[in-house]
Amino acid sequence: MKKIFLFASLLLSLVIHAQILDPVQWKTSVKQLSNNEFELVMNATIDNEWHMYSQFTPEGGVLPTEFTYKNQKGNYSLVGKTVESPYKKVFNDIFEVDEYFFAHNATFTQKVKVTNTSLKEIKVDLFYQVCKEQCITQDKSFTFKLPVIKSEAVKELASTENVTEVVTSVMDTVSEEKIVLGTDTITEKEITKDEVVTAEHVEQKAEERSFLSIFIFAFLGGFAALLTPCVFPMIPMTVSFFTKQSKTKAEGKKNAIIYGVSIILIYVLLGSLVTGIFGADSLNALSTNVWFNIIFFIILVVFASSFLGAFEIVLPNSWANKVDRQADRGGIIGILFMALALAIVSFSCTGPIVGTLLVEAASKGGIAPIIGMLGFSSALALPFMLFAMFPGWMNSLPKSGGWLNTVKVSLGFLELALAFKFLSNADLVSQSHWLERELFLAIWIAIFGAWAVYLFGKLTLPHDSPLTHLSVGRIYMAILVTIFTVYLIPGLWGAPLKLISGFPPPMTYSESPYGIGGNGSSVQTNVELPEHAHLGPQGIIAFEDYEEGLAYAKKVNKPALVDFTGDACVNCRKMEENVWSKPEILNILKNEVVLISLVCDRRIELPKEEQYVSKETGKEIKTIGNKWSDFQITRYKSNAQPLYIIQDTEGKDLNIPVGYTPDAEEYKAWLESGINKFKK
């Protein structure tokens, strides 16, 4: 009876998985807003229990929806960003991130302004992931037909307030047969009205928070610049100048305010130049460019080395001399040149901080460099204005001394740590795996550990003064840095380190994705790996190329377990964590089969010579994920992950493919049925 039930379950599994699932049906339309302005509308109808994900769902979980608008140059421009209908927000305990998803339906709209009056159509490529018990990554292409744009009708249409809907909808061909695969992969909590918000509102709020964080970060950077040997001694000198040269107290206060405003204008102008030269949108695009991040890494290492005392970054003396001569002119022009002189003379200390802020702000894109320079210059200018207005406060200032160099060195350690964040970005984008989570944390532990040793006075650098005792403030700072260093150490064994979330690579981008001593306690790091193999989930030797894995299976005379999986597949992770971790199953996977994991959502581009057009779907196969997804569709008429098949050494299937199978006993029986056929 048990065998009959197992056979029936496997037969049902075959029926379910041997088909191309398409849980999202699309309708597209165009709305004409004016003679040359249009709104591209994409409506998605999502099957019950399936979820599609927002463009803005955070990294580290499922894949967000992405739109690519083709052939824009010289034809049309986008007006704003793609706007979404309201979505829901829940916490995914597998990936440990929030997810923004759509259920039942979703609408995406994009305004465009046509500049080529002969343009007849706009093509849009869409990439998205949809999940239930399985996850499916989809590539779609839409063609929006445009009406004839008449140049003589511009005035007439411009005065018309009515919005005319044109062009009929286009619908993808979908299978009428629907299969219910069981419970949802996401446990929906009670969604309040506050959690259901429009993407446009969320994006606006996120942008406001981003700019506020940049301003605060930059303001703190300006305050730090004040406490450096190049700037701090300038405060009493400058204040003394204003109090002696001004005929009255009122004039002195006015000149001090003009001086402070001039400092702000100089640095804001610098931020404006960076934004103007690169462009607001291109800065954001560059932030994910590998070479851009590598260049930033090198720049920050140079800045950090300067702060640590290796050398000083200074501007040509001739610049300072020319500016000083202009400052002697007096009046508002003279004060403006005094502010410029401060910027030039103090550049060896402020330059690395300004450079770091511009690098960080540039990675955010938009007007972030301007916001950053406003925050930095405000903090830098404020003390000069206040002490010039209230000279009596000067008595409360601490005296210059070796502590200023301590601040400068501390900034050097911070800049060095930040530099590796940009190197990590480059590594993550390229998926090179040179700087995985453990190595990144080891570098940070070394940097912050060295900083703690320095603060305790056990390490001296070139420009340090002799240290006879430790101040109370320095001891507190040393203790704080030591605590942070110790906090980082458990991260090497898989601790989440939520305080620095977003800085190190994600948990999945590491040598031990499941940690050491946790779910991955069975991982053996001293395993001798075959050529082209790596340690996969639960320490199982795995191949990521079908031909290489099958060749090894033939060499060792074992059946191959072909695993169609995804980096952002929730139930793939559930199977690996909850089913594969069972001792009786883990023993089979490690010793009786060769695991071949084919990642169907990995968007690493194939070499040009390996790219092709699918005979099955007609799509261009450009990425590794495209390749294995096309293989799955072509051979098994299925596009959902996970999907498991046991094959012999010639690549012939030994049993019926199965998908998500949370019952460990059922999955074990399925494995054994395929292995027994291989042995016979």
Give the rounded distance of the alpha carbon of 540 from its chain centre.
29
**Which of 20-29, 62-71, 195-204, 402-411 is predicted least confidently?**
195-204
C-alpha distances in angstroms, 314 versus 231, 324, 345, 352, 365?
A: 14, 16, 8, 11, 28
DSSP conformational letter for 34: S
Give the per-residue pLDDT at 563. 95
Q: What are 413-449's pLDDT values in tens digits?
A: 988 998 898 888 778 767 778 888 899 999 999 999 9
**Which of 11-15, 313-317, 380-384, 453-457 is predicted least confidently?**
11-15
Taken in order of first residue, the domains within the chain and their CATH numbers are 23-197 (2.60.40.1250), 206-397 (no CATH), 533-679 (3.40.30.10)
Beta strands in 228-339, from DSSP E residues, in sequence order? none
**Which of 13-17, 25-29, 307-311, 609-613 is predicted least confidently?**
13-17
Give the per-residue pLDDT at 107. 93
Q: What are 310-363's pLDDT values in tens digits?
A: 877 665 666 556 655 655 555 677 677 777 767 776 666 676 677 767 766 665
Own/partner contacts of 187-192, CB < 8 Å, gap of 24 or more, are: 187/90, 188/88, 188/90, 189/90, 189/91, 191/88, 191/89, 191/90
Give the per-residue pLDDT at 330. 58
Determine the average pLDDT of the residues in 541-545.
93
Instruction: Give me the amino acid identity at 317.
Output: N
Q: What are 178-201's pLDDT values in tens digits?
A: 333 333 333 333 334 343 444 344
- Spatial CA neighbour of 473 closest among 538, 533, 401, 532: 401
**Cα angle 629-632-633, degrees, rounded to a multiple of 5:** 85
Higher pLDDT, 17 or 91: 91
562 pLDDT tier (thresholds 50, 70, 90): very high
For residues 69 and 81, what is the distance between their CA atoms, to the nearest angstrom?
11
Residues pairing with 101 in the sheet: 53, 88
Instruction: Give me the amino acid identity at 304.
Output: A
Give the per-residue pLDDT at 262. 84
Tell me how crowded residue 163 is: count the other CB atoms within 10 A of its CB.
Answer: 11
284 pLDDT tier (thresholds 50, 70, 90): very low
pTM, full prediction: 0.45
SS3 74: coil
Give the per-residue pLDDT at 187. 38
Regarding beta strands 66-69 and 24-32, do their DSSP bridges make them parallel or antiparallel, or are they unpaired?
unpaired
Residue 17 near residue 661 (C-beta atoms within 8 A): no
Strands lying side by side in the sheet with 24-32: 76-84, 105-114, 37-46, 24-32, 164-171
